[in-house]
Protein backbone atom coordinates (compact mmCIF):
# COMPACT_ATOMS: atom_id res chain seq x y z
CA UNK A 1 0.00 0.00 0.00
CA UNK A 2 1.35 3.39 -1.02
CA UNK A 3 1.52 6.11 1.64
CA UNK A 4 1.98 9.82 1.26
CA UNK A 5 5.65 10.81 0.99
CA UNK A 6 7.37 11.72 4.26
CA UNK A 7 6.19 15.13 5.50
CA UNK A 8 8.28 18.24 4.98
CA UNK A 9 11.04 18.59 7.52
CA UNK A 10 14.55 17.45 8.18
CA UNK A 11 15.95 14.24 6.78
CA UNK A 12 19.04 13.70 8.87
CA UNK A 13 21.68 11.06 8.25
CA UNK A 14 23.34 9.85 11.45
CA UNK A 15 27.14 9.72 11.40
CA UNK A 16 28.24 7.46 14.25
CA UNK A 17 31.96 8.21 14.63
CA UNK A 18 32.63 6.09 17.74
CA UNK A 19 33.86 3.32 15.47
CA UNK A 20 35.41 3.31 12.00
CA UNK A 21 35.71 7.11 11.74
CA UNK A 22 36.07 7.96 8.03
CA UNK A 23 38.99 10.06 6.87
CA UNK A 24 38.01 13.69 6.29
CA UNK A 25 38.45 13.17 2.55
CA UNK A 26 36.02 10.26 2.61
CA UNK A 27 33.60 12.20 4.83
CA UNK A 28 33.46 14.94 2.21
CA UNK A 29 32.68 12.37 -0.51
CA UNK A 30 29.93 10.91 1.65
CA UNK A 31 28.44 14.35 2.34
CA UNK A 32 28.46 15.08 -1.38
CA UNK A 33 26.53 11.85 -2.01
CA UNK A 34 24.10 12.51 0.86
CA UNK A 35 23.32 15.88 -0.71
CA UNK A 36 22.59 14.25 -4.07
CA UNK A 37 20.30 11.77 -2.30
CA UNK A 38 18.18 14.57 -0.79
CA UNK A 39 19.60 14.67 2.76
CA UNK A 40 19.38 18.10 4.42
CA UNK A 41 21.02 17.46 7.77
CA UNK A 42 23.62 15.42 9.66
CA UNK A 43 23.27 14.04 13.18
CA UNK A 44 26.92 13.70 14.20
CA UNK A 45 27.87 11.51 17.17
CA UNK A 46 31.56 12.20 17.83
CA UNK A 47 32.19 10.53 21.21
CA UNK A 48 35.98 9.99 21.44
CA UNK A 49 36.67 11.42 17.98
CA UNK A 50 35.93 14.99 19.11
CA UNK A 51 39.05 17.09 19.88
CA UNK A 52 38.26 17.67 23.55
CA UNK A 53 40.76 19.89 25.35
CA UNK A 54 41.93 20.57 28.89
CA UNK A 55 40.52 18.26 31.55
CA UNK A 56 38.52 16.42 28.88
CA UNK A 57 41.52 15.60 26.70
CA UNK A 58 41.57 12.08 28.19
CA UNK A 59 38.28 11.40 26.32
CA UNK A 60 40.05 11.50 22.95
CA UNK A 61 40.56 8.16 21.18
CA UNK A 62 43.91 6.44 21.65
CA UNK A 63 43.69 3.88 18.82
CA UNK A 64 43.70 6.66 16.23
CA UNK A 65 43.92 10.47 16.39
CA UNK A 66 40.66 12.32 17.07
CA UNK A 67 39.56 14.76 14.39
CA UNK A 68 41.35 18.09 14.69
CA UNK A 69 39.37 21.31 15.29
CA UNK A 70 40.17 22.26 11.69
CA UNK A 71 38.76 18.96 10.41
CA UNK A 72 35.55 19.35 12.47
CA UNK A 73 35.08 22.86 11.06
CA UNK A 74 35.89 21.69 7.53
CA UNK A 75 33.23 18.96 7.73
CA UNK A 76 30.63 21.46 8.90
CA UNK A 77 31.49 24.07 6.29
CA UNK A 78 31.30 21.50 3.51
CA UNK A 79 27.97 20.15 4.81
CA UNK A 80 26.53 23.68 5.05
CA UNK A 81 27.69 24.42 1.49
CA UNK A 82 25.51 21.46 0.46
CA UNK A 83 22.47 22.79 2.34
CA UNK A 84 22.84 20.53 5.37
CA UNK A 85 22.38 21.47 9.01
CA UNK A 86 24.87 19.78 11.36
CA UNK A 87 23.42 18.65 14.71
CA UNK A 88 25.93 17.22 17.20
CA UNK A 89 24.83 14.38 19.49
CA UNK A 90 26.47 14.45 22.94
CA UNK A 91 25.44 11.78 25.43
CA UNK A 92 24.57 13.22 28.86
CA UNK A 93 23.16 10.31 30.92
CA UNK A 94 23.21 6.83 29.36
CA UNK A 95 25.84 5.47 26.95
CA UNK A 96 28.58 7.40 28.71
CA UNK A 97 31.07 4.55 28.25
CA UNK A 98 33.56 6.77 26.40
CA UNK A 99 33.75 8.97 29.52
CA UNK A 100 33.17 6.56 32.40
CA UNK A 101 35.65 3.92 31.17
CA UNK A 102 38.50 6.19 32.30
CA UNK A 103 39.74 5.35 35.81
CA UNK A 104 39.79 8.98 37.08
CA UNK A 105 36.04 9.13 36.33
CA UNK A 106 34.95 5.73 37.71
CA UNK A 107 33.45 7.42 40.77
CA UNK A 108 30.86 9.10 38.51
CA UNK A 109 29.22 5.78 37.53
CA UNK A 110 25.77 4.99 38.90
CA UNK A 111 27.03 1.50 39.81
CA UNK A 112 30.64 0.28 39.51
CA UNK A 113 29.95 -2.48 36.97
CA UNK A 114 27.83 -0.36 34.59
CA UNK A 115 30.19 1.74 32.47
CA UNK A 116 27.42 3.55 30.60
CA UNK A 117 25.26 5.29 33.20
CA UNK A 118 26.17 8.56 34.92
CA UNK A 119 25.37 8.98 38.61
CA UNK A 120 22.68 11.72 38.55
CA UNK A 121 23.41 12.81 42.14
CA UNK A 122 26.99 13.98 41.61
CA UNK A 123 27.35 17.63 40.64
CA UNK A 124 30.78 16.82 39.19
CA UNK A 125 29.05 14.65 36.58
CA UNK A 126 26.72 17.44 35.52
CA UNK A 127 29.67 19.85 35.42
CA UNK A 128 31.61 17.54 33.09
CA UNK A 129 28.55 17.09 30.87
CA UNK A 130 28.23 20.88 30.59
CA UNK A 131 31.93 21.20 29.81
CA UNK A 132 31.58 18.63 27.00
CA UNK A 133 28.62 20.57 25.63
CA UNK A 134 30.49 23.87 25.94
CA UNK A 135 33.43 22.59 23.90
CA UNK A 136 31.19 21.03 21.25
CA UNK A 137 29.05 24.17 20.88
CA UNK A 138 32.18 26.34 20.67
CA UNK A 139 33.43 24.29 17.71
CA UNK A 140 30.08 24.50 15.88
CA UNK A 141 29.66 28.16 14.86
CA UNK A 142 26.03 29.18 14.47
CA UNK A 143 24.76 26.01 16.14
CA UNK A 144 21.09 26.19 17.20
CA UNK A 145 20.16 22.51 17.72
CA UNK A 146 21.83 19.85 19.86
CA UNK A 147 20.95 16.23 20.72
CA UNK A 148 21.61 15.21 24.35
CA UNK A 149 21.10 11.45 23.95
CA UNK A 150 19.67 10.09 27.25
CA UNK A 151 18.73 6.66 25.88
CA UNK A 152 19.18 3.26 27.54
CA UNK A 153 20.09 4.57 31.01
CA UNK A 154 20.71 1.08 32.37
CA UNK A 155 20.84 0.35 36.13
CA UNK A 156 19.41 3.76 37.03
CA UNK A 157 18.28 3.68 40.65
CA UNK A 158 20.64 0.83 41.58
CA UNK A 159 23.44 3.02 42.98
CA UNK A 160 23.74 3.63 46.71
CA UNK A 161 22.94 7.35 46.45
CA UNK A 162 19.95 6.59 44.22
CA UNK A 163 18.65 4.01 46.69
CA UNK A 164 18.80 6.61 49.47
CA UNK A 165 16.99 9.11 47.26
CA UNK A 166 14.35 6.55 46.28
CA UNK A 167 13.71 5.74 49.94
CA UNK A 168 11.98 9.12 50.33
CA UNK A 169 8.18 9.01 49.92
CA UNK A 170 6.99 9.69 46.40
CA UNK A 171 10.44 9.36 44.78
CA UNK A 172 10.55 7.05 41.73
CA UNK A 173 13.11 6.01 39.12
CA UNK A 174 11.00 7.86 36.53
CA UNK A 175 11.37 11.07 38.53
CA UNK A 176 15.09 10.44 38.96
CA UNK A 177 15.48 10.23 35.18
CA UNK A 178 13.30 13.25 34.50
CA UNK A 179 15.00 15.40 37.12
CA UNK A 180 18.47 14.82 35.64
CA UNK A 181 17.36 15.45 32.05
CA UNK A 182 15.45 18.56 33.11
CA UNK A 183 18.48 19.81 35.03
CA UNK A 184 20.74 19.38 31.98
CA UNK A 185 18.18 20.93 29.60
CA UNK A 186 17.66 23.96 31.86
CA UNK A 187 21.42 24.42 32.23
CA UNK A 188 21.73 24.41 28.42
CA UNK A 189 18.94 26.97 28.07
CA UNK A 190 20.60 29.23 30.65
CA UNK A 191 23.82 29.34 28.64
CA UNK A 192 22.28 29.14 25.15
CA UNK A 193 18.63 30.32 25.41
CA UNK A 194 18.08 29.90 21.66
CA UNK A 195 19.21 26.25 21.58
CA UNK A 196 16.76 23.55 20.44
CA UNK A 197 17.32 20.36 22.46
CA UNK A 198 16.55 16.90 21.07
CA UNK A 199 16.69 13.70 23.15
CA UNK A 200 15.94 10.00 22.65
CA UNK A 201 12.51 9.01 23.94
CA UNK A 202 12.89 5.38 25.11
CA UNK A 203 13.25 6.08 28.83
CA UNK A 204 9.92 7.96 28.75
CA UNK A 205 7.84 5.38 26.90
CA UNK A 206 6.41 3.77 30.02
CA UNK A 207 5.73 7.05 31.79
CA UNK A 208 2.24 8.42 32.24
CA UNK A 209 1.03 11.54 30.51
CA UNK A 210 0.68 13.24 33.91
CA UNK A 211 4.29 12.42 34.90
CA UNK A 212 5.57 13.92 31.67
CA UNK A 213 3.42 17.02 32.12
CA UNK A 214 4.64 17.53 35.68
CA UNK A 215 8.32 17.11 34.68
CA UNK A 216 8.59 20.49 33.03
CA UNK A 217 10.10 18.98 29.87
CA UNK A 218 7.41 20.46 27.62
CA UNK A 219 8.99 23.38 25.80
CA UNK A 220 12.47 22.31 26.92
CA UNK A 221 13.13 19.23 24.76
CA UNK A 222 11.96 17.57 21.57
CA UNK A 223 11.79 13.75 21.95
CA UNK A 224 13.10 11.62 19.07
CA UNK A 225 11.19 8.34 18.98
CA UNK A 226 13.38 5.56 17.61
CA UNK A 227 12.40 2.17 16.24
CA UNK A 228 14.61 0.32 13.77
CA UNK A 229 12.63 -2.89 13.30
CA UNK A 230 11.04 -3.99 10.01
CA UNK A 231 7.87 -4.94 11.89
CA UNK A 232 7.52 -1.64 13.75
CA UNK A 233 4.14 -1.54 15.53
CA UNK A 234 2.38 1.38 13.82
CA UNK A 235 -0.55 1.73 16.26
CA UNK A 236 1.71 1.57 19.33
CA UNK A 237 4.10 4.14 17.85
CA UNK A 238 1.26 6.51 16.96
CA UNK A 239 -0.10 6.16 20.50
CA UNK A 240 3.30 7.05 21.96
CA UNK A 241 3.62 10.17 19.82
CA UNK A 242 0.05 11.15 20.73
CA UNK A 243 0.89 10.68 24.43
CA UNK A 244 3.85 13.04 24.18
CA UNK A 245 1.65 15.54 22.35
CA UNK A 246 -1.08 15.32 24.99
CA UNK A 247 1.61 15.92 27.63
CA UNK A 248 2.27 19.27 25.97
CA UNK A 249 5.25 18.17 23.85
CA UNK A 250 4.14 18.93 20.30
CA UNK A 251 7.54 19.09 18.52
CA UNK A 252 8.63 15.50 17.90
CA UNK A 253 11.09 13.53 15.77
CA UNK A 254 11.31 10.02 14.35
CA UNK A 255 14.40 7.85 14.01
CA UNK A 256 14.73 4.95 11.58
CA UNK A 257 17.80 2.96 10.54
CA UNK A 258 19.73 2.14 7.38
CA UNK A 259 22.48 0.08 9.05
CA UNK A 260 23.79 -1.04 12.42
CA UNK A 261 20.58 -2.41 13.88
CA UNK A 262 20.28 -6.01 12.69
CA UNK A 263 22.77 -7.88 14.87
CA UNK A 264 25.70 -6.51 16.82
CA UNK A 265 28.22 -8.04 14.40
CA UNK A 266 26.47 -7.77 11.00
CA UNK A 267 28.89 -7.03 8.14
CA UNK A 268 26.52 -6.47 5.20
CA UNK A 269 23.04 -4.96 5.67
CA UNK A 270 19.82 -6.18 4.10
CA UNK A 271 18.37 -3.28 2.14
CA UNK A 272 14.90 -4.80 2.19
CA UNK A 273 14.91 -5.03 5.99
CA UNK A 274 15.68 -1.34 6.34
CA UNK A 275 13.28 -0.31 3.59
CA UNK A 276 10.54 -2.18 5.46
CA UNK A 277 11.33 -0.15 8.57
CA UNK A 278 10.81 3.06 6.57
CA UNK A 279 7.55 1.80 5.06
CA UNK A 280 6.25 1.35 8.62
CA UNK A 281 7.39 4.85 9.56
CA UNK A 282 5.48 6.24 6.56
CA UNK A 283 2.32 4.62 7.95
CA UNK A 284 3.00 6.24 11.34
CA UNK A 285 3.42 9.69 9.77
CA UNK A 286 0.18 9.25 7.81
CA UNK A 287 -1.76 8.40 10.99
CA UNK A 288 -0.77 11.29 13.26
CA UNK A 289 -3.10 13.99 14.56
CA UNK A 290 -2.82 17.30 12.79
CA UNK A 291 -1.49 19.09 15.88
CA UNK A 292 1.67 17.01 16.09
CA UNK A 293 4.63 18.77 14.54
CA UNK A 294 6.89 16.04 13.18
CA UNK A 295 10.11 18.00 12.82
CA UNK A 296 11.90 15.36 10.79
CA UNK A 297 13.48 11.93 10.76
CA UNK A 298 16.99 10.81 11.66
CA UNK A 299 18.06 7.84 9.55
CA UNK A 300 20.51 6.22 11.92
CA UNK A 301 23.59 4.28 10.87
CA UNK A 302 25.10 2.81 14.01
CA UNK A 303 28.76 1.85 13.84
CA UNK A 304 28.72 0.08 17.22
CA UNK A 305 25.84 -0.85 19.52
CA UNK A 306 27.79 0.98 22.19
CA UNK A 307 31.31 2.31 22.71
CA UNK A 308 32.68 -1.06 23.85
CA UNK A 309 30.96 -3.39 21.36
CA UNK A 310 32.26 -4.64 18.00
CA UNK A 311 32.00 -2.87 14.65
CA UNK A 312 28.75 -3.16 12.69
CA UNK A 313 28.45 -2.63 8.93
CA UNK A 314 30.85 -0.05 7.53
CA UNK A 315 29.41 2.89 5.63
CA UNK A 316 30.38 1.77 2.06
CA UNK A 317 28.39 -1.48 2.22
CA UNK A 318 25.34 0.43 3.54
CA UNK A 319 25.07 3.17 0.90
CA UNK A 320 22.59 1.23 -1.29
CA UNK A 321 20.44 0.71 1.82
CA UNK A 322 20.58 4.42 2.68
CA UNK A 323 19.69 5.46 -0.87
CA UNK A 324 16.80 2.97 -0.95
CA UNK A 325 15.45 4.17 2.41
CA UNK A 326 15.54 7.80 1.27
CA UNK A 327 13.77 7.02 -2.00
CA UNK A 328 11.13 5.14 -0.01
CA UNK A 329 10.48 8.29 2.03
CA UNK A 330 10.35 10.48 -1.07
CA UNK A 331 7.97 8.17 -2.99
CA UNK A 332 5.80 6.86 -0.15
CA UNK A 333 6.66 3.33 -1.26
CA UNK A 334 9.60 1.35 -2.60
CA UNK A 335 8.27 1.25 -6.14
CA UNK A 336 10.02 0.23 -9.34
CA UNK A 337 10.65 3.93 -9.93
CA UNK A 338 12.26 4.31 -6.50
CA UNK A 339 14.47 1.27 -7.12
CA UNK A 340 15.45 2.60 -10.51
CA UNK A 341 16.47 5.94 -9.03
CA UNK A 342 18.74 4.15 -6.53
CA UNK A 343 20.45 1.96 -9.12
CA UNK A 344 20.90 4.89 -11.52
CA UNK A 345 22.17 7.28 -8.85
CA UNK A 346 24.74 4.82 -7.53
CA UNK A 347 25.50 3.12 -10.83
CA UNK A 348 24.68 -0.34 -9.48
CA UNK A 349 22.77 -3.37 -10.72
CA UNK A 350 20.80 -4.11 -7.54
CA UNK A 351 19.72 -2.38 -4.32
CA UNK A 352 21.03 -5.35 -2.32
CA UNK A 353 24.79 -5.04 -1.81
CA UNK A 354 25.28 -8.81 -1.96
CA UNK A 355 23.71 -8.94 -5.44
CA UNK A 356 25.64 -6.05 -6.99
CA UNK A 357 27.83 -7.06 -9.92
CA UNK A 358 31.54 -6.29 -9.59
CA UNK A 359 32.40 -3.10 -11.48
CA UNK A 360 35.80 -2.02 -12.79
CA UNK A 361 34.53 1.57 -13.00
CA UNK A 362 35.71 4.42 -10.79
CA UNK A 363 33.36 4.78 -7.81
CA UNK A 364 32.53 8.45 -8.37
CA UNK A 365 28.79 7.72 -7.98
CA UNK A 366 29.36 5.40 -5.05
CA UNK A 367 32.25 6.43 -2.79
CA UNK A 368 33.86 3.35 -1.30
CA UNK A 369 32.33 0.91 -3.79
CA UNK A 370 35.53 -1.11 -4.24
CA UNK A 371 35.80 -1.68 -0.49
CA UNK A 372 32.11 -2.58 -0.30
CA UNK A 373 32.51 -5.22 -3.01
CA UNK A 374 35.58 -6.72 -1.32
CA UNK A 375 33.83 -6.88 2.06
CA UNK A 376 30.86 -8.67 0.49
CA UNK A 377 33.21 -11.23 -1.13
CA UNK A 378 35.12 -11.81 2.10
CA UNK A 379 31.92 -11.98 4.17
CA UNK A 380 30.54 -14.61 1.81
CA UNK A 381 33.73 -16.63 2.14
CA UNK A 382 33.83 -16.56 5.96
CA UNK A 383 30.15 -17.51 6.10
CA UNK A 384 30.68 -20.62 3.95
CA UNK A 385 30.00 -23.78 5.92
CA UNK A 386 33.19 -25.42 4.61
CA UNK A 387 35.30 -22.80 6.38
CA UNK A 388 33.08 -21.91 9.34
CA UNK A 389 32.64 -25.55 10.36
CA UNK A 390 35.91 -26.96 9.08
CA UNK A 391 36.73 -28.62 12.41
CA UNK A 392 33.41 -30.48 12.25
CA UNK A 393 33.82 -32.01 8.81
CA UNK A 394 33.90 -35.78 8.56
CA UNK A 395 37.63 -36.11 7.86
CA UNK A 396 38.77 -33.83 10.71
CA UNK A 397 36.42 -35.46 13.22
CA UNK A 398 37.18 -38.97 11.99
CA UNK A 399 40.92 -38.90 11.36
CA UNK A 400 42.30 -35.88 13.23
CA UNK A 401 40.29 -35.52 16.42
CA UNK A 402 41.67 -33.82 19.56
CA UNK A 403 42.46 -37.31 20.92
CA UNK A 404 44.47 -38.20 17.82
CA UNK A 405 46.23 -34.82 17.75
CA UNK A 406 47.29 -35.11 21.36
CA UNK A 407 48.86 -38.53 20.75
CA UNK A 408 50.23 -37.62 17.33
CA UNK A 409 48.68 -40.78 15.89
CA UNK A 410 46.85 -40.21 12.61
CA UNK A 411 46.57 -41.58 9.09
CA UNK A 412 49.16 -39.64 7.04
CA UNK A 413 47.29 -39.93 3.74
CA UNK A 414 44.05 -38.41 5.04
CA UNK A 415 45.68 -35.86 7.34
CA UNK A 416 47.74 -34.52 4.43
CA UNK A 417 44.48 -34.08 2.50
CA UNK A 418 43.08 -32.14 5.49
CA UNK A 419 46.28 -30.07 5.58
CA UNK A 420 46.03 -29.20 1.88
CA UNK A 421 42.39 -28.19 2.23
CA UNK A 422 43.01 -26.04 5.31
CA UNK A 423 46.03 -24.43 3.64
CA UNK A 424 43.97 -23.59 0.56
CA UNK A 425 41.27 -21.97 2.67
CA UNK A 426 43.87 -19.99 4.59
CA UNK A 427 45.45 -18.77 1.36
CA UNK A 428 42.06 -17.72 -0.03
CA UNK A 429 41.17 -15.87 3.16
CA UNK A 430 44.57 -14.18 3.39
CA UNK A 431 44.32 -12.97 -0.21
CA UNK A 432 40.86 -11.45 0.42
CA UNK A 433 41.96 -9.98 3.76
CA UNK A 434 44.93 -8.20 2.19
CA UNK A 435 42.73 -6.76 -0.55
CA UNK A 436 40.24 -5.49 2.05
CA UNK A 437 43.02 -4.04 4.21
CA UNK A 438 44.65 -2.29 1.27
CA UNK A 439 41.37 -0.65 0.25
CA UNK A 440 40.13 0.11 3.77
CA UNK A 441 43.14 2.20 4.77
CA UNK A 442 42.28 4.66 1.97
CA UNK A 443 38.98 5.46 3.73
CA UNK A 444 39.59 4.69 7.42
CA UNK A 445 42.45 4.72 9.96
CA UNK A 446 44.80 1.74 10.07
CA UNK A 447 43.30 0.86 13.45
CA UNK A 448 39.87 0.36 11.87
CA UNK A 449 41.25 -2.07 9.29
CA UNK A 450 43.10 -3.97 12.03
CA UNK A 451 40.03 -4.12 14.29
CA UNK A 452 37.63 -5.15 11.53
CA UNK A 453 39.89 -8.01 10.41
CA UNK A 454 40.61 -9.15 13.98
CA UNK A 455 36.88 -9.24 14.76
CA UNK A 456 35.40 -10.65 11.59
CA UNK A 457 38.06 -12.86 10.00
CA UNK A 458 40.85 -13.82 12.42
CA UNK A 459 38.62 -16.02 14.64
CA UNK A 460 37.96 -18.25 11.61
CA UNK A 461 41.56 -18.30 10.43
CA UNK A 462 42.97 -19.32 13.83
CA UNK A 463 41.52 -22.89 13.92
CA UNK A 464 42.63 -23.51 10.34
CA UNK A 465 46.12 -22.34 11.26
CA UNK A 466 46.18 -24.60 14.33
CA UNK A 467 45.12 -27.64 12.32
CA UNK A 468 47.86 -27.14 9.72
CA UNK A 469 50.49 -26.71 12.47
CA UNK A 470 49.22 -29.76 14.38
CA UNK A 471 49.31 -31.89 11.24
CA UNK A 472 52.86 -30.78 10.45
CA UNK A 473 53.94 -31.69 13.99
CA UNK A 474 52.16 -35.04 13.75
CA UNK A 475 53.71 -35.91 10.39
CA UNK A 476 57.18 -35.51 11.87
CA UNK A 477 56.27 -38.43 14.17
CA UNK A 478 54.56 -40.51 11.48
CA UNK A 479 56.39 -40.04 8.18
CA UNK A 480 60.09 -40.87 7.64
DSSP letters spanning 45-103: E-GGGS---GGGGGGS-SSSPPPPHHHHHHHHHHHHHTT-EEEEE--SSS--HHHHTSG
User: 16 by DSSP, 3-state: which?
Assistant: strand
DSSP letters spanning 343-378: HHHHT-S-SSGGGPPP--S--TTSTTHHHHHHHHHH
CB environment 469-478: b (16+ within 10 A), e (fewer): ebbeebeeee
Q: Give CA separation, 226 vs 203, 284, 290, in Å.
A: 11, 12, 21
DSSP state of 316: H
Residues marked active site are found at 152
- Helical (H) or strand (E) element with 187: helix 173-191
Q: Give CA separation, 52 vs 68, 69, 367, in Å.
A: 9, 9, 29
Strand partners, 196: 145
Amino acid sequence: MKCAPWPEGKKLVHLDLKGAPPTVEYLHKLIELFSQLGVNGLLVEYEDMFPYEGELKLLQATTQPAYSPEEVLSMQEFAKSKGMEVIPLVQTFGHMEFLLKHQPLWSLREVPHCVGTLNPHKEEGVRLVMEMLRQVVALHPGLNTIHIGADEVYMLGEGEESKLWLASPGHTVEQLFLSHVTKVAKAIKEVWPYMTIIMWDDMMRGMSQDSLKASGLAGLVQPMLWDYTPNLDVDKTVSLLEKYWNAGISDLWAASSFKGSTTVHTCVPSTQRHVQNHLQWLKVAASLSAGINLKGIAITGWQRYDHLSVLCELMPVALPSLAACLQTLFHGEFSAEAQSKVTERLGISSVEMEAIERSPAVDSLFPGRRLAELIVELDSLVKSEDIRFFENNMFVRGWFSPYQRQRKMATPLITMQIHNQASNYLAMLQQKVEAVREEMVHLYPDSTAHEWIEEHVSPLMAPLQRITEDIEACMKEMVP
